[in-house]
Structure 1
Amino acid sequence: MALYRHNSELLSERRGIFGAVFKSLGQSEHGFRVVRRGRRFGRITKQRFSFWVFSLAVCFLIYWALLSIKMLFHGKMEGGISSLSEVQQETSGLSVLKQPRSKHRKIHHPCEVEFRASVDDLVEPKDFMNFTKFSLGYISREEKLFGNNLFEPRFGGHQTLEEREKSFYARNQTLHCGFVKGPEGYLSTGFDLDEKDKIYMNTCGVVVSSCIFGSSDFLRRPTSKQISDYSKKSVCFVMFVDEQTLSKLSSEGNVPDDRGFIGLWRIVTVRNLPYEDMRRTGKVPKFLSHRLFPSSRYSIWLDSKMRLQTDPMLIIEYFLWRTGSEYAISNHYDRHCVWEEVLQNKRLNKYNHSAIDEQFIFYQSDGLTKFDPSDPNTPLPSYVPEGSFIVRAHTPMSNLFSCLWFNEIDRFTSRDQLSFAYTYLKLRRMNPDKPFFLNMFKDCERRALVKLFRHRTVPSPPLSS
C-alpha cells in the first residue's frame, strides 16, 4: 500500500484507470515485481538519457572549440589577425587600420606589349647614351683605423653618414659600392670568382643575369625558341650560384658542359658569400651588374623564379630606347606606398621588426612622405617596385643609383622595396638640374616577358639581427 500511495502522490493527476491497474497489481506478489521492474527500467532509461545528453554536449563544445581555433589560425595565416576583428597597428607613430585579408588571392594577368617583330631591324638610337655625364670611382680597399682592434672588413665597407650624404650628389666622386677589401693580410670580404669567369664577364657588352644561392630555386632556362640567333651570339646569359646550389643542380641532372654552360646560362660559381642572409647576397648581382660586367652597356636582371621568354634586345628597345630611359623597373602589382610595404613586411615577418622600424623612422626624418596618387606632381606612378625584373643602360646616373640603392640594403634591411623610393627621391632632390630618366612600367608588362614560378624554398630571414 505504501508503494501505491507513493505512486499516487507522484502521479496524483493520473488516477482512475491507471490507479486501478496499479492497485490490482499491488495486491499480488507478482504485481509488486512488475512495479519494481518498472521503477528499475525507468531509472536505467534516465541514466542512459542523461549520459547521451552529456555526451552530445561535450561533442558540441569540442566542435566549437576546434572551429574557433581553426578560424583564429586561419586569420593569422591569411591576414596576421583574426578575421572576426579589425586591429589598429601603430607603426612609427602612424595609426593604420588593418582590414582582414581576403580568402581569395588576386589574380594578375599579363597585358599586351608591342615589341618589334624582329631584332633584325633594331638600331640603337643615335646619341642614346648621352645622359648626364660625370665620372664614378669605387672604393676598393679600406685601411684599419689606428687603435681600432675590433676592425673587421666588410663587403660593403664602413661608410660613414657623412660619406653617405655626399655620395648622393651626381658628380665626379669615389664612393662605396660593394667589393671593398680590408687591409693587407685580412681575409677576403666575399663574392670570390674564378679568374676565367672574370675574363668571360669582362667581354660582355649586353648581359642577362640571375642568381640562385642556398639552393632556393630550380634552374629555369630561357625559352630558346623565343631568343634570336643574334642574341644567342651577342648577349651573355650569366647565372650566379654558390657551391651548394651547384651541387644540388648537378644531382638533378643540370651539369655544366666543358665551357661552363647549361643551355644558354653560363654558370658562374661564387665562393665565400659576403653575407649570411642569402637575400642580401642576392642583391650583389642584382644591383651591381656594372661592377661585375665592367664592359657592358646594357643589363637585364631577372629573379630566379622567372623563365625569360622574350628576346633581350627587344626588351632593351621597348623599355629603354623607345622611352628614352636609362633605368626601367615595374611597379608593384598590389602596393604603391612604402607605408603599406612596411606593414606587409612586418605582418609576414619578412625581417626583424625593430630593424624595419629603425630604417623607416630614419627615412621619414630625412623627408620620405606617403605616396599620393592624386598629386599630378608625383614623380613616380608607385613608390613600391616589383624588383624582380630590371632593365638598365650603364650610364653614370644609372650606376650611381644602383650603388646608392645597394648601400641602403647593406646599411639597413635586405628588403629592397623599402629603400627604393627613398633612394630615388633623395637622388632627385639633391640633383635638381641633373635628371635621372627612370621608366616605371606596368606590372602586367613584366608578366608578359617571363613565365612566373614559385621559389623552391624561401631563405629564412635573419630575425635575430
Structure 2
Amino acid sequence: MAQFRLPGADRTYPDPHGGGGGAAGRSRRIRRSGKAPLRVMAGAIAVILALVLLVAFSSHLLLSRHGEIRSRLHDENVGRKQGSSVGLKGAIPRVLRFGKGSGKVGWDSRQWDKDDRRRDRDYAEEDQKFPGDGGRKSENETVGSRPSHSADHGLYNEGGRAELDSYRDEYEVSLKKGGKLWEDDVVGKGNAHDDYGYGYGFGGEGKSGGDAVTDELKKDSSVISGKGGGGGGDSKTEKKLASRRKPRHHKFSGSSCKIKFFNSTAQLVEPLESKKFSRFSLQYKEVEDRPNDLENWEPRFAGHQSPQEREESYYARDQKINCGFVRGPKGSPSTGFDMAEDDVRYMSRCHIAVSSCIFGKSDSLRTPYNKVVTRLSRKNVCFIMFMDEITLQTLLSEGQKMDGSGFIGLWKIVVVKNLPSTDMRRVGKIPKFLTHRLFPSARYSIWLDSKLRLQSDPLLILEYFLWRKGYEYAISNHYDRHCVWEEVMQNKKLNKFNHTLIDQQFEFYQADGLKRFDPSDPNKLLPSYVPEGSFIVRAHTPMSNLFSCLWFNEVDHFTSRGQLSFAYTYLKLRRMNPTKPFYLNMFKDCARRSVVKLFRHRAEDKGNIPKQLMR
C-alpha cells in the first residue's frame, strides 16, 4: 500500500528504539535539500526562456504589423493617386473651359441654382461649445447631434482629395525618425513658421488639398489640353483600389487657433491713421445721364461702366468711380436698396460698424454673444442688421421682439426696400462689399455673414487683425481650397452658377494675366487665391475702399461668386499700382473660427432667376 509522507515527516526526531533513526533522518534530509536548488534553477531557466520567447514573438508581431501598415499606406497612396487621375479624367475632361458639357452634371446648366446649400452643405460649428457658453445648447443644436464637417458630406471637400496623402507621407517620415506620430508633431503643435495653413506650410512639405489637385492637373497633359475624356484603366483594378480607400475626413474643419487678445479694452487706444497707407481722393459716381443713342436704357444700382472706365478704375489715384448707389437722371425710378431716412442718419454717425444682413428669410437672427461685448464697445460700436420686409415679418412671427428704437438685442434693424435684384446672394454683396458707402463717417467696420455669430469683442478684433501690425484690410483664406482653378471646378461641379457665365469670367481673367496659385513661389503676393469671405475686418482707407469697390464691380459684372474674383481683383490692383502698397492681412481660417461661430442656414433660399441671366 502506498504511503504518503505527512508534512514534517523529514524532520529529525530521536528514535524511541535507539535504532539510529535520527542519523538516517538527517541523511534523508540532506539528500532532499540538495535537490531543491536544482529545481529552483530549472524553474528560473524555464521562466527566462518563456520571457525570451514572448519578447521574440511580440517583436515579430510588431515588425510584421509595421510592415503591413507601411505596405497598406503605400498601396492606398498609389491607389488614391491613380483613382484621382482616373476620376478627374472621367469627370472633368477640360480645365480651361470648365463645364460646357463636362462634369458630373453632364450638361451646361442654364437654370439658376436657387440654393446651392442643398448640394454644398457647409461644415457647421453650432454643435461645438464656445468657452463662454456655460454648457448651454446653441440655437440649432439638438440632443444627440454631432458636428457637421465638410468631409462628412463628400462633395464639398472633394478638392482636398490629396491632403491626407501628404499627412501619411509625413507619418512615414516620422516613423523613420523614431516612431513619433505625425498627429503629435504636426497637428498637436502646429508649424511655428506656418502663418496661413493648418499645421502645414505653403511651399513646405505638406500641401493643401487644392495645391495637390492642381499638381495632379498639371501632370495630366490630357486634362490640361482638353483631350481625352475616357475613364482609362482596368475596371477591376479601379474597383480594387476603390475598395481599399477609406473615408476621408477634413482634419481641420472644426479647429480654431488661440488668439492672443488683450485682456481688456480699457487700455486700447485707437491709432492715428498710418502715414504708410496710400493717400488719394476717391469719389463715387452718384448720378448718370441717359445716353441719347440707347432707347431701352434703364438706370442700374451699379451704374453702366464701360470697359475703359473699368480699366482706369484700378488706378489708385484721385478719381470718381462707379461703386454702387448710382441713380438715374431726374425723374427716373429708384435703382434700389432704399432705406428709411432715420436709419440713414443713424448709420452716418457711426464711427465703428459691425454689420450683417439677412435677405429672403434664409437665416435666423444671431445676436452677438453678450458676455464678450464690453461696455466700451456697446457705447462706441454700431451693430447693424440689414434685412428685407419679409425677413423681418418672419422673425417677428417667430417671437423676436423689436423695441421702439428698432433694436432686437444689440442689432439695430435696418429694413431695405426695393431690392436691386431678385437674387438674394447678389443683393447681399451690397452691404458686404460697400460698407464704406453705407457708413460714410465710419473709420472701421467688421462684416459677418448671417450664418455667423460674433463671439469676441469688436474692439479687440480691430486691435488684433488691423492695429497690431498696421493692416487696412483683413480676410481669412479658405479652409480647404487655395487656387482659383480648383474653386472654379467646384462651382461647376456643384452647379452653383450658370456654367457659361463662369466660363466667360474665368477665360477673361486668364486672358488678363491670372495664373495658377503656386504655393512654392517665394514672391507670391497672396497666401491663397481663395478667401473664406464670411468675416471681413477693414479700415476705411482710400486703398481699402478702392479694393471694395473694384471687387463689388467684378461681382456685379460677372457672377455673384465673390471667391472667383477676389484674387484677380487684388492682383490686378497691385500690378497697376506697384508704388502704392495695399496692406492686406489674409489670415488663416482657424483664426476666424476663434472669433465667430458658424451655424447652418435654416431654410432654402427662394430667390428667382436674376434678370441679368434671363436674356
Residue in structure 1 matching 2:365, options 210, 213, 219: 219
Corresponding position of 1:167: 313
Cα distance in 2 between the residues matched to 1:84 and 1:443 = 27
- Out of 250, 256, 277, which is 1:110 matched to? 256
How far residue 103 of structure 1 moved from its aligned partner, in angstroms, is 5.1
Would the alpha carbon gap of residues 304 and 194 (structure 1) be closer, same or farther in structure 2, given more than 3 Å must change?
same
Supply the AA of the counterpart residue of 1:180: V
Partner of 2:95: 91
Q: Secondary structure at the match of 1:388?
A: strand
Question: Does residue 1:346 correspond to 2:492, yes or no?
Answer: yes
| CA shift in 2, pair 1:121/1:355, >3 Å | same
Is the 2:97–2:503 contact (alpha carbons within 8 Å) kept by the matching residues of 1?
A: no
- Once the two structures are superposed, residues 291-345 of structure 1 have per-residue CA deviations (whole angstroms, 9 ceiling, x without a partner) of 0000000000010001100000000000001121000000000000000000111
**Contact 2:422–2:608 (Cα < 8 Å) also in 1:** no
Task: State whether residues 307 and 451 of structure 1, in contact with CA within 8 Å, keep that contact through their aligned partners in structure 2.
Answer: yes
Residue deviations 1:263-317, cap 9 Å, x none? Answer: 0000000000011110010000001010000000000001000110000000000
Contact 1:208-1:237 within 8 A present in 2 as well: yes
**Corresponding residue of 1:184:** 330
Kindly provide the CA deviation profile for residues 338-364 of structure 1, in whole angstroms up to 9, marking residues without a partner as x.
Answer: 000001111111100001000000000
Matched, 1:360 2:364: no
Amino acid at match of 1:383: Y
- Is 1:247 aligned to 2:393, yes or no? yes
Note if contact 2:547-2:569 (Cα within 8 Å) is conserved in structure 1: yes
- Does 2:280 match 1:134? yes
Aligned equivalent of 2:420: 274
- For the residue of structure 1 that corresponds to 2:508, the secondary structure is helix
**Pair 1:149-2:295 in alignment:** yes
| Identical amino acids, percent of aligned pairs | 62
Question: Are residues 1:410 and 2:556 paired?
Answer: yes
Match of residue 26 from structure 1: none
Go from structure 1 to structure 2 and tell me whether the alpha carbon gap of 1:365 and 1:216 turns closer, same or farther (over 3 Å shift): same
Who is 2:466 aligned against? 320
- Secondary structure of 1:426 counterpart: helix
Q: 1:394 aligns to what?
A: 540
- 2:21 counterpart residue number: none
Aligned-pair distance for 1:186?
1.2
Give 1:450's aligned residue: 596
Which of the residues 331, 338, 352 maps onto 2:477?
331
Matched with 2:202 is none
Q: Match of 1:186, SS?
A: coil
User: Contact between 1:129 and 1:395, CA under 8 Å: does it hold in 2?
Assistant: no
Code of the aligned partner of 2:464:
Y
SS at match of 1:402: helix
2:340 is aligned, of 194, 213, 216, to: 194
Quote the Cα distance in structure 2 between the aligned partners of 1:356 and 1:347. Answer: 12
Q: 1:213 Cα deviation (Å)?
A: 0.1
- Answer whether contact 2:97 2:507 (CA < 8 A) is retained: no
The answer as to whether partners of 1:108 and 1:333 remain within 8 angstroms in 2 is: no
Partner SS, residue 92 of structure 2: strand
Mapped to 1, the partners of 2:301 and 2:439 lie a distance apart of 18
CA offsets 1:36-93 (integer angstroms, 9 cap, x no match): xxxxxxxxxxxxxxxxxxxxxxxxxxxxxxxxxxxxxxxxxxxxxx989943331325
Structure 1: runs of 5 or more not aligned: 1-81
Q: Which of 430, 433, 440 in structure 1 is aligned with 2:586? A: 440
Distance in 1, matches of 2:441 and 2:503, equals 39
Q: Post-superposition shift, 1:366?
A: 0.3
Task: Provide closer, same or farther for how the CA distance between residues 88 and 198 of structure 1 changes in structure 2, counting only shifts above 3 A.
Answer: closer
Equivalent residues in 2 for 1:36-51, closer than 5 Å:
none
1:210 counterpart = 2:356: yes
1:265 to 390, 407, 411: 411
Structure 1 distance, partners of 2:92, 2:538, is: 40
Give the distance between the partners of 2:304 and 2:87, measured in 1 at CA: 46
| d(CA) in 2 for partners of 1:200, 1:225 | 25
> Equivalent of 2:374, from 204, 214, 228?
228
Q: Which consecutive unaligned segments of at least 5 residues does structure 2 have?
A: 1-85, 99-222, 232-237
TM-score computed with the length of structure 1 as normaliser: 0.79
Equivalent residue pairs, number: 387
Per mean C-alpha deviation after superposition, the further-off stretch among 86-95 and 297-306 is 86-95
Q: RMSD of the TM alignment (CA)?
A: 2.4
2:123 is the counterpart of 1:119:
no
| CA distance in 2: counterparts of 1:244 and 1:195, whole angstroms | 20
| SS of the residue 2:446 aligns to | strand
Letter in 2 for 1:209: S
Change (3 A) 1:167 1:458: farther
Contact 2:501/2:558 (<8 A) preserved: yes
Seen in structure 2, the aligned counterparts of structure 1 residues 93 and 210 have a Cα distance that, compared at 3 Å, is closer
| Residue type at the aligned position of 1:182 | G
Q: Tell me the amino acid that sits aligned with residue 418 of structure 1.
A: L
Residue identity in the other structure for 1:260:
G
Counterparts of 2:92 and 2:443, CA distance in 1: 48
Q: Which has the higher strand share?
A: 1
**Change in CA separation of 1:296 and 1:130 when aligned onto 2, cut-off 3 Å:** farther
2:473–2:539 CA contact under 8 A, matched in 1: yes
1:122, distance to aligned residue in structure 2 (A): 0.7
Q: Structure 1, residues 395-424: CA drift from partner, whole Å, max 9, x if none?
A: 000000000000001100000000000000
Return the offset for 1:220. Answer: 0.3
CA contact (8 A) 2:353 2:446 kept: yes
Q: TM-score, normalised by structure 2?
A: 0.60
Counterpart CA distance in 2 for 1:273 and 1:335 is 32
On the 8 A contact 1:205/1:296 being kept in 2, the answer is yes
Where 1:184 maps in the other structure, the secondary structure is coil
How far has the Cα of 1:125 moved from its partner? 3.0
Amino acid corresponding to residue 217 of structure 1 in structure 2: D
Tell me the distance in 1 between the aligned counterparts of 2:451 and 2:393: 19
Q: Distance in 2 between matches of 1:132 and 1:308?
A: 31
Secondary structure of 2:391's aligned partner: helix
Question: Bigger CA drift: 305-314 or 247-256?
Answer: 247-256
What does residue 452 of structure 2 align with?
A: 306
Deviation at 1:131, TM superposition (A): 1.1
- The equivalent of 2:3 in structure 1 is none
